[in-house]
Chain A
Amino acid sequence: MTLLWIALLPLLGVLVPALTAQRGRSFCSLATAVLPATALVMTLLNVPALLDGEQLRFSVTWMPELALDLAFRLDGLSLLFNLLILGIGLLIILYAHYYLAKDEPFGRFYAFLMLFMASMVGISMSDNLILLWLFWELTSLSSFLLIGYWSYRSDARKGARMALTVTGAGGLALLAGLLLLGDMAGSFNMGDVLASGDVILADPRYPLMLGLVLLGAFTKSAQFPFHFWLPHAMAAPTPVSAYLHSATMVKAGIFLMARLHPAIAGSELWSVVVSLVGIVTMLYGAWFALMKTDLKGILAFSTVSHLGLITVLLGIGSPMAILAALFHILNHATFKAALFMSAGIIDHETGTRELKQLGGLKKAMPVTALLTTLAAAAMAGVPLFNGFLSKEMFFTESLATPVLGGVSWLLPALATLGGILSVAYSLRLVHAVFFKPAREEPPKTPHEPPHLMRLPVEILVVLCVVVGLFPAFMATGLLELASEAVIGSPLDFHLAIWHGVNLPLIMSLLAFVVGIALYWRHGNVRRFTQQFAGIDARRVFERILISIGYRSEQLIAALEGNSLQRYVGWLWLAALVMGGIGLVQITDLTGAAGNQPLDGILILGAVMLMFGGVATAATHRYRLISLLMLSVVGLFVALTFARFSAPDLALTQLSVEVVTMILLMLALFFLPQKTPRESSPLRNVRDMLLAGTLGLVIASLNYAVMTRDTLSISSFFVENSKPGGGGYNVVNVILVDFRGFDTLGEITVLAIAGLAIFKLLNRLRLFMPHSDGEGRVWSPDRYPAVLTSISMTLLPLALLVSAFIFLRGHNQPGGGFIAGLITAVALILLYMARGVAWAQERLDFPFQPVAVIGVAVATLTGLGSWLFGHPFLTSAFGYFSLPLIGTFELATALLFDLGVYLAVVGATLMILANLGKVTTAHRPVTETSGKDTDAAAATSSAKEPR
């Protein structure tokens, strides 16, 4: 269980800064640190169990259809990464507390940071491939937010976008790769996958899968040629760079390669590709680190270089190489985070990161100078620092590996070259900033930062030194656990500073001598390289993006030409193609069931239906007539339902037809009166052709389906309606019981539509014109006496009928939907007959609560079944007998139907009454802003013709 909490606490921590940001920065920083600190302690509490060789797993089935489990594991590798993520994360929180300017929204920063931390911990502990991928994507998203934190800066926005594009694309490739991997292994459980390495290697899809997974890993870990986003991500605030771009996120790709190592690494392909990409990345990064003049730029490229180094080691893949890789992950995280934070301090206190403006800072910032020098020494691989140990191991492994076959000697040579460059840029960083006199003055007078801001750097530098001095004591335990997790069996090794004079030591010495000389003459080197025009990765990237965008726009313009009609036309054309494909595959259009005989009434009905449709289209220039024809269609649809054994549908269609006609009448008044210029004849023909063809295809498909006996799940509903649902009307039982959840969704949609209309009509002002668009004067008799008296007489009757229909709904045609519509129609009739003002006085309550209460009643009925330990929306019914009245049935379904009834009444009235009110003083206004509204209401009612 603690495993779940370790993963969950940082995620909960996202809320902490959001909730505490109001209470000042110190409180907020402290509060934010509590949850990750707890998670760190919980991780450490699990170490004894790990040392005892226990398998720490936690698993809950989440979405079995997607093979997604909420599964976590804590093994040595997860332990190593958790310590890095949570430990350095805590230091970053402290550092950011001082780094961010006073007026910057720190709450948001901490929230993003925690989101990132949570997703990293998730990657580190995932025991399921899909879950791992989810967290992987989450790191891309949260790092996008963090890089773009200073969103007012163009470089921050562009850098964030670039990082998201590259890592996001890699993430997609990874998803494909992981799906393949899971398919090959037959399971998405991490343990199963890692155990089935042989099956995976033998699978013919292995190269494809490997390519996709590596694409994900290389983009994330900034390996050549996807490295270019990392330097541009340096637009992020320095705490972010120190955290994401040195210690954690860029290590996610490395982590993935290490995690999946037992499953996918056993092939020649892996060794060659991974080690080659690694070595190129290492040299490329190191070279540009030497050339950059921006402090964070140097660190970014050196990070690229070190990530390359770790990748080479993973590519070599021998147990000792894995050990070296893990050790270097740890070492690099400590010294590089320290260096980034130092760079941030220098930036913070001097106002610049340009080497030109920096120099001689050792006088103003002696402590920072010392700390930076020590960390840089670790980066260069000076003996007695942790970087030296892992670099020596790297040299040793590069000498021992046969991975490149006949040219394997190249590897140690290139490794030494990397070492040389590493020494040179480390030296340059320290010397140019602290010792060499400055060429220009920095913008601010430098001084030491607040002590607590320096504390994280101090802690990390002390770690670098202590691990460097006592490697066996400090790191052996952790590395034993981590390497065992990757290799699968315990590894016997001994970390020591002194191995005697051997070839790796000579390589180190060579690196130092040549590296110092290179820095000595590096002005010449710079002048030499400046002859070549550099490629600005960002410009290339932006150009590609712009050209993709431009091409897409061209394509869209060619397809739909900015016309919504053509857009719809394409959709219909696609439907035509799909339907047509289906149709041509049918050998015989008339199915086995055959035709039923025709009769006169049916012919009449169908003819009227067709007449209505054609007349609606034909008279489309006379909107009122067109509407009348439309109502003919609606009526005959209702009659069709009645004819073919669907009394519920007929009732619903009839009552909806009424409200729809009222709605469309209002809409006629509401929508523009003038018709735009008529379409060209060509366009008319084109549209008719498309519509006609589609109509034919649909008719044929419909006919084909109608004449075939279809397999249906309905028999279940028919058989269980009475025994299971307690109702005689199967349709109603389906609605309120079997598929009650769908119905709940439907009434929610209806209520939302009503509320949205209410909001959209808010403050809409319409003035009733004298006549309609075609010059006809509105009737002067606004409230005809006949309608008034009839509506008054009908109202109680209609309410009675709706109550009757509602109550009998479970057993006879009827129910909440129909009863609701009848009630709504009766009330609307009142509005129409007596005017809004009159009705408003008598129905003085807002309708939106009615709809909301309806949805609430239905939901609560569903929730009620939880109280009895049943699933959501389980219905119960029973028979009760009362004296005089006799036996009757009470079912929770009735309560649910009541909710449906209320939602339908509320939503319908909300829609129609509010639409009707827009010309009156009762128009919907939610935000009453005093005088303005009153004045507006006064003018509009003054203008209202009477």
Chain B
Amino acid sequence: MEPLMAVAIGLLYATAIFMMLRRSIVKLVIGLMLLSNAANLLIFTTAGMTRGAPPLIAEGMMQPPSGVADPLPQAVVLTAIVIAFGVLAFAVVLIRRAYEVVKADDLDKMKDTDT
């Protein structure tokens, strides 16, 4: 299943990059969203894919059974998901402000900060 997963992630990256290279602001935002999804999956899968063994310790035990999924990428990705939302929201509002100043949706026209 690894090749399939890798291809899916690669494809997500490709679509994200393609969308980011469009000239419309809205597409840039969508591209960013795709990119964060793809990156989260990438980081998540680097530790390998484990089925049916969440990193939880059974009640009363000191350690989980061996072979549980790696908790570290999960912790990293968990915060990344939340942060990605914050950053995306900030980007949207910032782009809106920039649009207001430059009066152009076309990213090719956002050439300098002067109005």
Chain A residues in the interface with B (C-beta under 8 A): 562-565, 568-569, 572, 593, 595-599, 602-603, 606, 609-610, 613-614, 616-617, 620, 623, 626-627, 630, 633-634, 637, 640-641, 643-649, 652-653, 656, 659-660, 663-664, 667-668, 670-672, 674-677, 679, 687-688, 690-692, 694-700, 702-703, 705-707, 709-710, 712-714, 717-719, 721-723, 728-731, 734-735, 739, 742-743, 746, 749-750, 753-754, 756-757, 760-761, 764, 811-813, 817, 821, 904, 907-908, 911-912, 915
Q: Are A742 and B11 in contact (CB under 8 A)?
A: no
Report whether B44 and A695 are in contact in the complex, using a CB–CB cutoff of 8 Å. Answer: no
B77-100 interface mask toward A, CB cutoff 8 Å, 1 = contact, 0 = none? 111011111111110111111011
Contact of A735 among B42, B75, B96 (CB under 8 A): B75
Contacts of B42 in A (CB 8 A): 698, 702
Complex Cα distance A606/B41, Å?
12
Are A630's CB and B30's CB within 8 A?
yes
**A647 with B15: CB separation less than 8 A:** no
Question: A756 → chain B, closest Cβ, in Å?
Answer: 6
Q: How far is the CA of A421 from the CA of B61 in the complex (A)?
A: 90
**Which of B4, B14, B33, B89 counts the most chain A CB atoms within 10 A?**
B89
User: Quick check: A717 and B59 within 8 Å, CB to CB?
Assistant: no
Per DSSP, are chain B's interface residues mostly helix, strand or loop, or mixed? helix
20 contacts between A and B (CB under 8 A): A610-B7, A613-B11, A616-B34, A627-B30, A646-B44, A647-B54, A652-B78, A660-B85, A671-B96, A679-B22, A687-B18, A691-B14, A702-B10, A703-B2, A728-B58, A729-B55, A734-B72, A746-B82, A756-B93, A760-B93
| Contact, CB under 8 Å: A595 / B23 | no
Contact with A along B28-61 (1 / 0, CB 8 A): 0110011001101110111111111111111101
CB under 8 Å from chain A, chain B span 63-77: 63-64, 68-72, 74-75, 77
A583 → chain B closest CB, angstroms? 12
Q: Is the CB of B37 within 8 A of A764?
A: no
B78 and A695 contact, CB distance less than 8 A: no
Q: Write out the residue numbers on chain A whose beta carbons fall within 8 Å of the beta carbon of B15.
A: 613-614, 616-617, 691, 695
Q: In whole angstroms, how far apart are the Cα atoms of A735 and B25 in the complex?
A: 34
CB distance from B65 to the nearest CB of A (A): 10
A43–B4 CA distance with the chains assembled, in angstroms: 73
Task: Check if A596 sits within 8 Å of B105, measured CB to CB.
Answer: no
Which residues of chain B are near A687, meaning CB under 8 Å? Answer: 17-18, 21-22
**Interface of A: prevailing SS:** helix
B64: which A residues are within 8 A, CB to CB?
718, 721, 730
Q: B-side interface residues toward A, CB under 8 Å?
A: 1-27, 29-30, 33-34, 37-38, 40-42, 44-59, 61-64, 68-72, 74-75, 77-79, 81-90, 92-97, 99-100, 104-108, 110-111
Given contacts A569-B21, A731-B71, contact A602 B81 (CB under 8 A): no
- Say which residue of B45, B87, B93, B99 sits within 8 Å of A915 (CB atoms): B93
Q: A645 contacts which chain B residues (CB < 8 A)?
A: 50-55, 68-69
**Do B23 and A676 have beta carbons less than 8 Å apart?**
yes
Residue contact B46 to A672, C-beta cutoff 8 Å: no
Given contacts A656-B85, A667-B29, A754-B86, contact A596 B41 (CB under 8 A): no
Sample of 18 more A-B contacts, CB < 8 Å, known A695-B14, A702-B42, A749-B86: A563-B107, A596-B1, A599-B1, A609-B8, A644-B44, A646-B54, A667-B29, A670-B96, A671-B92, A672-B99, A691-B16, A694-B13, A712-B47, A712-B70, A719-B63, A721-B57, A761-B93, A812-B56
How far apart are the CA atoms of A735 and B80 in the complex, in Å? 12
When the two chains form the complex, which single residue of A671, A679, A729, A734 contacts B99, counting CB atoms closer than 8 Å?
A671
| Complex contacts, B55 vs chain A, CB 8 Å | 645, 718, 729-731
Across the interface, which residues of B come within 8 angstroms of A908, CB to CB? 85
Q: In the complex, are the beta carbons of A565 and B69 less than 8 A apart?
A: no
Q: Is the CB of B11 within 8 A of A646?
A: no
Do A706 and B90 touch across chains, with their CB atoms under 8 A apart?
A: no
Cβ-defined contact, A603 with B4, below 8 A: yes
Is the CB–CB distance between B96 and A695 below 8 Å?
no
Contact between chains at B85 and A649 (CB < 8 Å)? no
When the two chains form their complex, are residues A698 and B97 in contact, meaning their CB atoms are under 8 A apart? Answer: no
Docked Cα-Cα span, A668 to B33, in Å, equals 14
Report the number of A-B residue pairs with Cβ-Cβ less than 8 Å: 323
CB of B90 within 8 A of CB of A757, answer yes
A714 proximity list for chain B (CB < 8 A):
47, 70-72
Interchain CB contact under 8 A, B56 and A691: no
Q: Which 3 A-B pairs give the minimum distances between C-beta atoms?
A: A699-B10, A695-B14, A645-B69
The answer to whether B33 and A626 touch across the interface, beta carbons within 8 angstroms, is: no
Contacts of B84 in A (CB 8 A): 656
Partner of B77, one of A649, A679, A713, A723: A649
Q: In the bound complex, what is the Cα–Cα distance between A912 and B99 (angstroms)?
A: 20
Among B11, B40, B54, B85, point to the contact of A695 (Cβ < 8 A): B11
Task: Please give me the residue from chain A that is nearest to B41 by CB atom.
Answer: A637
CB distance from A810 to the nearest CB of B (A): 11
CB nearest to A620 among chain B residues: B27
The complex places the Cα of A760 from the Cα of B21 at a distance, in Å, of 26
Q: Is the CB of A620 within 8 A of B81?
A: no
When distances are taken between beta carbons in the complex, the residues of chain A under 8 Å from B2 are 595-596, 703, 706-707
The CA of A649 and the CA of B43, in the complex, are separated in Å by 12
Cβ 8 A contact of B78, one of A706, A721, A817, A912: A817
Q: Which residues of A contact B56 (CB under 8 A)?
A: 728-730, 812-813
Do B50 and A750 have beta carbons less than 8 Å apart?
no
Query: Does the CB pair A749–B10 fall under 8 Å?
Result: no
Q: Report Cα–Cα, A152/B66, bound state, in Å.
A: 71
Q: How far is the CA of A236 from the CA of B84 in the complex (A)?
A: 49
B22→A649 contact, CB < 8 A: no
Which residues does chain B contribute within 8 Å of A641, judged by CB atoms?
44
Q: How far is the CB of A317 from chain B (nearest CB, A)?
A: 54
CB distance from B1 to the nearest CB of A (A): 5
Cβ–Cβ contact B83 & A746, under 8 A: yes
Contact check, A646 vs B69: say whether CB atoms are below 8 A apart. Answer: yes
A743 to B79, Cβ gap below 8 A?
yes
Are B45 and A565 in touch, CB under 8 angstroms? no
Instruction: Tell me the complex Cα distance, A408–B75, Å.
Output: 73
Shortest distance between the CB of B96 and any CB in chain A (Å): 6
Give chain B nearest CB distance to A730 CB in angstroms. Answer: 4
Task: Give the docked Cα–Cα distance between A427 and B50 (Å).
Answer: 89
Option from A596, A660, A690, A694 in Cβ contact (under 8 Å) with B33: A660
Contact flag A911-B23 (CB < 8 Å), given A616-B15, A644-B69, A645-B52: no
Q: Which residues of B contact A705 (CB under 8 A)?
A: 45-46
In the complex, A743→B79 CA distance in Å? 7
Partner of A653, one of B51, B81, B86: B81
Q: Which residue of chain B is the closest to A760 with respect to CB atoms?
A: B93
A648 contacts which chain B residues (CB < 8 A)? 74, 78
B17 A674 Cβ-Cβ under 8 A: no
Report the separation of the CA atoms of residues A602 and B70 in the bound assembly, to the nearest whole angstrom. Answer: 20
For B7, give the chain A residue with the smallest CB separation: A699
With A623-B26, A648-B74: A718-B68 Cβ-Cβ less than 8 Å: yes
